[in-house]
Amino acid sequence: MTPRLYLITPPLEDPAAFAPALEEALGAGDVAAVLLRLAAADERTRINRVKAIAPAVQRRDVALLLDGMPEIAARAGADGAHLTGVEAFAAALALLKPDRIAGAGGLASRHDAMLAAETGADYVMFGDPDRRGRRASLDETLERLSWWAELFEVPCVGYAASLDEVTALRETGADFIALGEWIWNEPKNLSAAIAAAAAAAAPAPAGEGDRPKGDGGGL
């Protein structure tokens, strides 16, 4: 199984200016979802920013998720939200379910991941940095993804902090690979960067390290 890509935007103040880069990225690989991060602003401004970027994403049948902000997901026309931490996830469920996607990240333990899944997470993410940019080691992330992919039906997302991590994340059986903010750092080569990540996520030819896995889920 080839994991699909999950793009994470930088914090945006002007989504309209970012739209061309996003269009380019969406055309360069098999993207399942875009996690939209927004710069600080009042609620109405945030809603307008989401509405400005949504058409570029959703017309490609790609899910648009908000980084937090479950309270505005429906009014802004987003497909759901990604919540960091079990408490934030639990608090957001009533605002998102049953019509919108509720994703869970910032899961500090196996117990946290299982709790999020049991309470309705549509996916769990491992390896994502906290608000200070700190994250688990790659080895710990790979172990957690392999464990999850082997035992659970809820899809899992592996967070890649660089292109060098993508293949290792794929080999765990992750359903999706999240590309961090690094992917946007060279906009002149954005298509090539997305294509390289997609290639790194593709399974190796038979006999070259393929790892069997059951059916994956979708966002």
Could you tell me which of 197, 195, 190, 155 has the C-alpha nearest to residue 176?
155
> 106: how many CB neighbours lie within 10 A of its CB?
20
Rounded to 5°, angle at Cα 56 from 52 and 57: 105
Cis peptide before 203 (omega within 30 of 0): no
Distance CA 197, CA 192 (A): 9
User: Residue 41: what pLDDT?
Assistant: 94
HEC string of the chain?
CCCEEEEECCCECCHHHHHHHHHHHHCCCCEEEEEECECCCCHHHHHHHHHHHHHHHHCCCCEEEEECCHHHHHHHCCCEEEEECHHHHHHHHHHHCCCCEEEEECCCCHHHHHHHHHCCCCEEEECCCCCCCCCCCHHHHHHHHHHHHHHCCCCEEEEECCHHHHHHHHCCCCCEEEECHHHHCCHHHHHHHHHHHHHHHCCCCCCCCCCCCCCCCCC
Contact indicator for 72, 43 with CB cutoff of 8 Å: yes
Q: Tens of pLDDT along 129-180?
A: 988 888 999 999 999 999 999 999 999 999 999 999 999 999 999 999 999 9
Across all residues in the chain, what is the average pLDDT? 91
Supply the pTM of this predicted model. 0.91
pLDDT tens readout for residues 43-61: 999 999 999 999 999 999 9
Fold of 4-201: TIM Barrel (3.20.20)
- Res. 1 pLDDT band, cuts 50 70 90: confident
The closest of 12, 71, 68, 75 to 38, measured between CA atoms, is: 12
